[in-house]
Amino acid sequence: MKRVITGNQAVAYGVILSRVDVISAYPITPQTTIVEELSELIASGRLKTKFLKVESEHSAMAALIGASTGGVRTFTATSSHGLAYMHEMLHWASGARLPIVLVNVNRALGAPWNIWGDQSDSLSQRDTGWIQLYCENNQEVLDTIVQAYLIAETVRLPVMVVLDAFVLSHTAEAVEIPSIEEVDSILPPFCPDYPIDTQEPRAYSVITTPDYFLEFRYKVQKAMEQVPEVAKKVDDEFKARFGRGYGAIERYGKEGAKVLLMTSGTVTSTSRTVIKKLVEKGLSVAGIKIKRFRPFPSEEICEAIQGAKKIAVIDRNLSAGVGGIFAQELRASLYSREERPPVFGFVSGLGGRDITPELIEEAIQYTMEHPQPEGDIVWLGLKR
Amino acid sequence: MNKVKVPIAENLGHGHLACAGCGAAVAMRLTLKALGEKTVMVFPASCWSIVPGFWPYSSYKITAVHAGFVTGAATASGVRAALDVRGDDETLVAVWAGDGGTFDIGLQALSGAAERNEDLLYICNDNEGYMNTGTQRSSATPLLAWTTTTPVMQPKENPKKDIMAIMADHHIPYAATATIAYPEDLIRKLEKARSIRGTRFIHLFSPCPPGWKMPSEQTIKISRLAVRSRIFPLYEIENGRFYTIQEETRVVSVKEYLKIQGRFSHLTEKDIEMTQRNTDDAWERLQRKARC
């Protein structure tokens, strides 16, 4: 069935199709219509899911930690300040090895107040032990939620599915919605190894001394290292079933291009049209879309950039004092390689300003004209 | 009152790390007896994150879910939801939180759960301060008490928060105070709470020898004097409205209670008189509530 739906409605469909048992969430713009949609579905009896309407995001994540420990499939959605408020519990969820799925609608953090798209919220959580998957369109949002449960429940780590504020969350486009039976055929019910069972009492998340804590974290890292293989298998199976796959990254544009442009989220869609035009003009450019940010797809990227002389990265986020976070991660990935093309780190579109085709073209032109960037950050569209 | 049977089963095992004379250890032993094995207990950060021992061991013989400091009531709400989804309406979900995790940092989550009337038994183990971190003031610390953050030159300037009134105003089905010197009363209240659905709250008063600067063999005595002096009266509130006081007729002055605790040793006669007046006022207010 094909329907014209917003990104937030696509999230709700993802939740229905994944047969989530417990939702716990707190409203925040621009995530709000997700919780409204889910409340409607539950109230009308179309969705048999328990929805805890908690008093904060911190409690939303804590409740899911309780529910997931209890052995059921869980979901929440948030944005910006809400995600930041959950921060402590994000660490707890990954440390407790709970396969919770969270949708984050990217939004800037105050001060000053801003409700528009900016990746600084999710990227601020990059060290919490969560897998992070970024989406380019509403179809990908729906599909990624189903994939997220498959990955999370295999490696026993939580997954954050990320979409752009308004450009996806509140914008409608055609989405193919699979039937729940079709999804059932690839997503089995959640079967945890050690759910709460009073017949076999256990103590969960017991205080652990320096003698063992390192080993607990080592296991989290080992689980993260399984993700590329597991996610690929999940994506391949998904593609075989539904004809749609995404990969950890996607390369598009000219084969053997000298200049590459790395983007994530909806900026990729705009970049596709710009690059198509430039290639038609005879320029040697290609694009790389980053879908999986954690674990960072270093292997996949290094393979995809072979032969490139320069890499431009557009970051809709800022780690003040360093620069764009995708650029920073890319530089770290390249360091151990023999082939180390210069990385041009463009920062643009913070707080929801449009990253227009003109700006993207400007970034590509700049990269072509300069042998090296004039600093770790090249500001794009900055009013001076 | 009918004679209360204390169940034989011991669900707090050997080797726990509670201090000598820990009032809460006695309370935990009795509580786990009363609640039985079909219990999941959520432990936000408190002494009771440490007392059962370190991984891979635990002294709890029931299911224990350790949780973030702020999250007792929220984590328990999630556990309850999972059990409901699994069709298990028999297992009790309880929280054991300290006064910090209840009166202070955990109050928002508790208020949220109580407003939703989550099917939980929330036990606040009140030792009147942040004892696990070495005796800092909490909003449960009484007026004028010494703690490491309210030194004797400037003892606690504010009275103890009235957590029972806060919980009563959430109109939860059941709230009760209890303490270890009255074990039958404690067990009766726990059993009563277990039989009710919705949010139930037990305010458990637990003397803390190192934090209160009191001899460890005086725990039960101080627990009893708290009730006799009406510093900590025993009562129940049903549906936020109906108060029942378990009146202790052998009344003593607050001085009897204060004088054996080092945390009050700097109090002047005037301070003690004021404490007596405050206690009398609070008792008067409680009686008025119980009369209507």
Per-domain residue ranges for chain A? 2-242, 250-379
Nearest residue to B222 via CA among B18, B20, B23? B23
Contact state of A202 with B63 under an 8 Å Cβ cutoff: yes
Q: What is the pLDDT of residue B109?
A: 98
Q: Which of A58, A62, A201 sits opposite B78 (nearest CB)?
A: A62
Residue A321 φ/ψ region, left for φ over 0, alpha for ψ in the -120 to 50 degree band, beta for the rest: left
Taking only the tens of pLDDT, chain A with its 384 residues reads 999 999 999 999 999 999 999 999 999 999 999 999 999 999 999 999 999 999 999 999 999 999 999 999 999 999 999 999 999 999 999 999 999 999 999 999 999 999 999 999 999 999 999 999 999 999 999 999 999 999 999 999 999 999 999 999 999 999 999 999 999 999 999 999 999 999 999 999 999 999 999 999 999 999 999 999 999 999 999 999 999 999 999 999 999 999 999 999 999 999 999 999 999 999 999 999 999 999 999 999 999 999 999 999 999 999 999 999 999 999 999 999 998 999 999 999 999 999 999 999 999 999 999 999 999 999 999 998
Residue of B nearest to A203 (CA): B64
Q: Which helix (H) or strand (E) holds A369?
A: helix A357-369
Rounded alpha-carbon distances, angstroms, from residue A246 to A3, A232, A264, B31: 21, 9, 13, 53
Residue of B nearest to A90 (CA): B68
Chain B residues 80-109 with a CB less than 8 Å from chain A: 80-86, 91, 108-109
Inter-residue contact A183 to A16 (CB < 8 Å):
no
End-to-end CA distance of chain B: 23
The DSSP line for B3-15 is PPP------B-TT
Q: What is the pLDDT of residue A286?
A: 98
Amino acid symbol at A267: V
- Answer whether B13 touches A (CB < 8 Å): no
Grouping H, G, I as helix, E, B as strand and the rest as coil, residue A343 is: strand
Q: What is the pLDDT of residue A161?
A: 99
Residue of B nearest to A211 (CA): B55
- Answer whether A21 touches B (CB < 8 Å): yes
What is the CATH topology of the domain spanning A2-242?
Answer: Rossmann fold (3.40.50)
Q: Which residues in B lie closer than 8 A to residue A92 (C-beta atoms)?
A: 67-68
How far away is chain B from the Cα of A29, in angstroms, using its nearest Cα? Answer: 21
Q: Which of A50, A54, A68 sits opposite B84 (nearest CB)?
A: A50
- Give the CATH number of domain A250-379; options: 3.30.460.80, 3.30.420.40, 3.40.50.920, 3.90.1150.10: 3.40.50.920
Residue whose pair of structure tokens reads 């939703």 in the numeric block: B116
The answer for residues whose C-beta is within 8 angstroms of residue B159's C-beta and 6 or more apart is B142, B143, B278
Q: What is the DSSP letter of A367?
A: H
Q: What is the pLDDT of residue B4?
A: 85
Give residue limits of the domains in chain B.
Answer: 23-291
Contact state of A65 with B67 under an 8 Å Cβ cutoff: yes
Amino acid symbol at A380: L
Inter-residue contact A204 to B65 (CB < 8 Å):
yes
Q: Which residues in A lie closer than 8 A to residue B15 (C-beta atoms)?
A: none
- In this structure, what is the dihedral angle of CA atoms B188, B189, B192, B197, given to the nearest 10 degrees? -160
Beta-strand pair A172-176/A2-6: antiparallel
ipTM of this predicted structure: 0.97
How far away is chain A from the Cα of B63, in angstroms, using its nearest Cα? Answer: 4
Rounded alpha-carbon distances, angstroms, from residue A194 to A69, A73, A353, B164: 8, 14, 46, 37
Nearest residue to A235 via CA among A337, A164, A133, A137? A133
Interior CA angle at A114 toward A112 and A116, to 5°? 155
Contact state of B109 with A207 under an 8 Å Cβ cutoff: no
Which residues pair with residue A75 across a beta bridge?
A23, A101
How far away is chain A from the Cα of B158, in angstroms, using its nearest Cα? Answer: 28
Q: What is the pLDDT of residue B2?
A: 66
Contact state of A63 with B81 under an 8 Å Cβ cutoff: yes
- Residues of chain B short of pLDDT 50, as ranges, are none
Q: Which residues of A143-180 are buried (b: 16+ CB within 10 A; e: fewer)?
A: bbbbbbbbbbbbbbbbbbbbbbbbbbbbeeeebebbee
- Answer whether B193 touches A (CB < 8 Å): no
Residue of A nearest to B118 (CA): A52
pTM higher than 0.80: yes
How far away is chain A from the Cα of B270, in angstroms, using its nearest Cα? Answer: 44
The answer for residues whose C-beta is within 8 angstroms of residue A334's C-beta and 6 or more apart is A302, A340, A341, A343
Which residues pair with residue A4 across a beta bridge?
A174
Q: Which residues of B152-170 are buried (b: 16+ CB within 10 A; e: fewer)?
A: eeebbeeebbebbebbbeb
Q: What is the DSSP letter of A204?
A: E
Rounded Cα distance between B167 and B152, Å, is 32
Give the other-Cβ count within 10 Å of B36's Cβ. Answer: 16
What is the CATH topology of the domain spanning B23-291?
Answer: Rossmann fold (3.40.50)
Residue of B nearest to A48 (CA): B85
Q: Which residues in A lie closer than 8 A to residue B78 (C-beta atoms)?
A: 22, 24, 52, 62-70, 74
Contact state of B77 with A66 under an 8 Å Cβ cutoff: yes
Q: What is the pLDDT of residue B292?
A: 75
Contact state of A203 with B67 under an 8 Å Cβ cutoff: no
